Amino acid sequence: MRLLMSSSAVRLTALLVFFAGAATAQPADPLPSWNSSVSRTALVAFVDKVTTAGTPDFVPPAERIAVFDNDGTLWAEQPMYFQAFFVFDRIKALAPQHPEWTDTEPYASVLKGDVTRALAGGERALLQMVMATHADTTTEEFERLVREWIATARHPTTGRLFTEMVYQPMLEVLSCLRANGFKTYIVSGGGIEFMRPWAERVYGIPPEQVIGSSIKTRFEMRDGRPVLVRLPELNFIDDKEGKPVAIQQHIGRRPIAAFGNSDGDLQMLQWTTAGPGARFALYVHHTDAAREWEYDRASSIGRLDAGLGAARAGGWTVVDMRQDWKVIHPAEKK
Amino acid sequence: MRLLMSSSAVRLTALLVFFAGAATAQPADPLPSWNSSVSRTALVAFVDKVTTAGTPDFVPPAERIAVFDNDGTLWAEQPMYFQAFFVFDRIKALAPQHPEWTDTEPYASVLKGDVTRALAGGERALLQMVMATHADTTTEEFERLVREWIATARHPTTGRLFTEMVYQPMLEVLSCLRANGFKTYIVSGGGIEFMRPWAERVYGIPPEQVIGSSIKTRFEMRDGRPVLVRLPELNFIDDKEGKPVAIQQHIGRRPIAAFGNSDGDLQMLQWTTAGPGARFALYVHHTDAAREWEYDRASSIGRLDAGLGAARAGGWTVVDMRQDWKVIHPAEKK
């Protein structure tokens, strides 16, 4: 029944597009923020190919799965992953309940505003801070904390809300794929419950299509009411080799299109393109120092090194942000 | 866009139902295998309530999540969980590669056909056999093994294919809910990759809506091709307190309807009904010794004891299989 409804919806959409086309003589461009480019052409050709019935590359709607990394692919990730700002703000908010943090690293440095020193302990220090700030709440309380923070917190250099730091051309890709019967998923190294509260509003991606890193939770009854308590214990890191593992666990079928921006996405792109039939893999290459940031092989955040070689060898699409994108963020739209 | 398409599809369905109704004077009964009963009435009233726009109980389609246990709820589970037959058949198939099994328990008993003795070690022995038979393949190989087995293996007492042991009245509930804009999920203690290969064909539930117990997998490159290798290491047991945990992990929102048959489903039903607004919880009570099996409080498989008390206290729906269902399995349909 779900399949029937899904294909009915596709036919309905096709019909609406047809009438819209008849009225305006030319259907609206689904990718208005993309310059004519090799990458745009490759994307459009792929969508045409898999949605044209009766051809060998046709893919039924149920199998049109597209996966997107989030940090650096759907929204920016400089000067550090946005979730780290949430972690630091939570440490400041929780500090009164943790007087010991005043002279315990990495908390002490966060409270003094010394981000560099706070992160000097590398991934281990960051993970420690994530545990301290993301656990010991119920899932409902945590969702509320994220909602409140994301509604007001602002990027340190642009002054924009973090949700305004999304990439307009990628929003158009998401919409275009969904209009063509695709199911769009986020597959991110970021926290699954950090993304879910706003992914539907910002990206049109519902909670059940958000995959990410997670801590464990425990079911318990509190005053006769069931709650899920978030525990300071790692459950899963959704990065590198973890991405195909999580895709299999959550989706149970191989995507036909994958979008990323770093070596952390490489295995997801390899897994996606290794299936039979038409496949599409795209790297967003951060090449725009003026409008965004310029970084790749040497960056500690979003390093893209092995991925560039794999893209060349595999004939994957590499977006040159500076050349290919008319605007970066939604606010720049005319 | 997904939401728009989904509600378009719902409207289209409503329209089609309207025209169908106009042509035949009376729309077809969506639950033809259900006798008039308290349980049928409660189910229909719930669906009407949450789908009637403009009322306080209306639930938008995106939030119409229904979760179903599998063993004993969607298909039978006697004389033992059907997946155990798959385990035993795999042990027999793998025995030539494991000469040591001839005198190692529990394998030796399986090979001698002594199921009772093979299962004497309880859950630990069963888990050991699951690991030995479900791991050390790629995900693709395992899917093929399940497909081949489920296409031919037969139930020991009825002689039917296991997929013919599904409950016709529950197939009608699944279809009815989906026709009313619900997304239907399996949330089972059974293996997630044991159910996915046939759940879409048999239940209309796609792989991404199947949740279950799992072992770990590892991404690796074999001859330049990426594979996911199944490891003999437990990842997650999707039973009891694990069910709400898995629902949050996979779906990220609380279901509004839950269907089970045992104490293993109790926490899922508690979690579902504890949310605000209209909620529906249903237990299938195995009361039909003639057409199926009769068991509850004292059964080692599908024990329903605490759940019966919770159902009474919470006003949940309890299906009396003998009284409420006209037919049990699809083959009995006139």
Could you say which of A139, A175, A228 has the minimum Cβ distance to residue B1? A175
For residue A26, with 0-12 CB atoms within 10 Å meaning exposed, 13-18 middle and 19 or more buried, which class applies? Answer: exposed
Q: Find where tokens 């789908």 sit.
A: B51
- Closest residue on chain A to B216 (Cα): A245
Single-letter amino acid code for the residue at B64: R
d(CA B66, CA B278): 13
Q: DSSP per residue over B164-230, as a string?
A: GGB-HHHHHHHHHHHHTTPEEEEEEEEEHHHHHHHHHHHHS--GGGEEEEEEEEEEEEETTEEEEEE
For range B313-321, the mean pLDDT: 98
pLDDT at B124: 85
**The pairing of beta strand B65-68 with beta strand A280-285:** unpaired
| Shortest CA distance from B242: residue in chain A | A219
Average pLDDT, chain A: 92
Contact yes or no for B208 and A253 at CB 8 A = yes
The whole-angstrom distance between A110's CA and the closest CA on chain B is 30
CB proximity list for B111: less than 8 A, separation 6 or greater = B91, B92, B95, B101, B102
* % of chain B with per-residue pLDDT over 90: 87
pLDDT tens digits, one per residue of B13-27: 444 444 444 445 567
Q: Taking the alpha carbons of B23, B26, B27, B30 in that order, is the dihedral positive or negative?
A: negative
**Chain A neighbors of B13, CB-CB under 8 A:** 5, 8
Nearest to B123 by CA among B76, B80, B183, B73: B80
* Alpha-carbon gap: B46 to the closest alpha carbon of chain A (Å): 20
What share of residues in chain A are helix, strand, coil (percent, to 5)?
A: 50, 20, 30
Cβ-defined contact of B178 to A2 (cutoff 8 Å): yes
| B256 shares contact with chain A (CB less than 8 Å) | no
Contacts 24+ apart (CB under 8 A), A234-237: A234/A127, A234/A131, A235/B249, A237/A189, A237/A213
CA of A10 to nearest chain B CA: how many angstroms apart?
8
Window 55-94 of B: residues touching A by CB (8 A cutoff) are 62, 65
- At residue A282, φ and ψ (nearest 5 deg) are -135, 135
Residues of B in Cβ contact (< 8 Å) with A217: 245, 248-249
**Chain B hits for A207, Cβ within 8 Å:** 251-253
- Chain B CB contacts of A178 below 8 Å: 1-2, 5
A244 touching chain B per CB within 8 A: yes
User: Residue B37 has what DSSP assignment?
Assistant: -
Residues 6+ apart with CB under 8 A from A321: A284, A285, A286, A287, A288, A291, A292, A328
Give the rounded percent of residues in chain A with a pLDDT score beyond 90: 87
Place of tokens 């039939």: A277
How would DSSP label each residue in A143-197? Answer: HHHHHHHHHH-B-TTT--BGGGGB-HHHHHHHHHHHHTTPEEEEEEEEEHHHHHH
Give the one of B3, B178, B214 whose C-beta lies nearest to A1's C-beta.
B178
Q: Which of A204, A216, A225 lies at the smallest CB-CB distance from B274?
A: A225
A250/B204 Cβ within 8 A? no
Q: Please give the interface size between A and B, counted as residue pairs whose CB atoms are below 8 Å apart.
A: 137
Q: Over the stretch B200-259, which tens digit does the pLDDT of each residue have?
A: 999 999 999 999 999 999 999 999 999 999 999 999 999 999 999 999 999 999 999 999
Tens of pLDDT, residue by residue over B46-75, are: 999 999 999 999 999 999 999 999 999 999
Task: Express each pLDDT in A232-247 by its tens digit.
Answer: 999 999 999 999 999 9
User: Which of A133-137, B183-187, B258-262 bottoms out in mean pLDDT, i.e. has the lowest?
Assistant: A133-137
Chain B residues touching residue A251 (CB < 8 angstroms)? 207-208
Secondary structure of A286-300 in HEC code, one letter for each residue: CECCCCCCECCCCCC
CB A207 to CB B253 under 8 A? Answer: yes
pLDDT of residue A126: 86
Q: What span, in angstroms and rounded, lies between the C-alpha atoms of B267 and A205? A: 28
B2/A contact by beta carbon, under 8 A: yes
Interface of A with B in 289-318 (CB under 8 A): none
Q: Which residues of B touch A10 (CB under 8 A)?
A: 5
**167-196 in chain A: CB under 8 A from chain B:** 174-175, 178-179, 183-184, 192-193, 196
C-alpha triplet A186, A208, B65: angle, nearest 5°: 165
Cα atoms in the Cβ-side hemisphere of radius 13 Å centred on B296:
18
- N- to C-terminal Cα separation, chain B: 42
User: Which sign, positive or negative, has the C-alpha torsion A315, A317, A319, A324?
Assistant: positive
Alpha helices in chain B (DSSP H): 2-24, 38-51, 82-94, 107-112, 115-118, 122-134, 139-152, 168-179, 192-203, 242-250, 266-273, 306-314, 321-324
Report the SS3 class of residue A29. coil
Collect all residues of chain A within an 8 Å Cβ-Cβ radius of residue B248. 139, 217, 228
Instruction: State residue A152 phi and psi, 5-degree precision.
Output: -130, -25
Per-residue tokens: B165: 């042991």
Q: What is the pLDDT of residues B29-38, one digit of tens each?
A: 999 999 999 9
Would you tell me how many other CB atoms lie within 10 Å of the CB of residue B68?
28
- Closest approach of B268 to chain A, Cα-based (Å): 10
pLDDT at residue B6, rounded to an integer: 44
Average pLDDT, 10 consecutive residues per value, chain A (334 residues): 41 45 66 98 98 96 98 97 96 96 95 92 86 94 98 97 98 98 98 98 98 97 96 96 98 98 98 97 98 97 97 98 98 85
Chain A contacts of B253, Cβ < 8 Å?
A: 207-208
Length of chain A (residues)? 334
Find out whether B296 and B305 touch, Cβ atoms under 8 Å: yes
Helix (H) / strand (E) element for A242: namely helix A242-250
Answer yes or no: do A267 and B206 touch at CB < 8 A.
no
With contacts defined as CB-CB under 8 Å, which chain A residues touch B183? 2, 208
Residues of chain A positioned with their CB less than 8 A from the CB of B270:
221, 226
Tell me what pLDDT residue A25 has: 58
Of B193, B219, B249, the CB nearest to A241: B219
For residue range A290-305, what is the model confidence (pLDDT) as tens digits?
Answer: 999 999 999 999 999 9
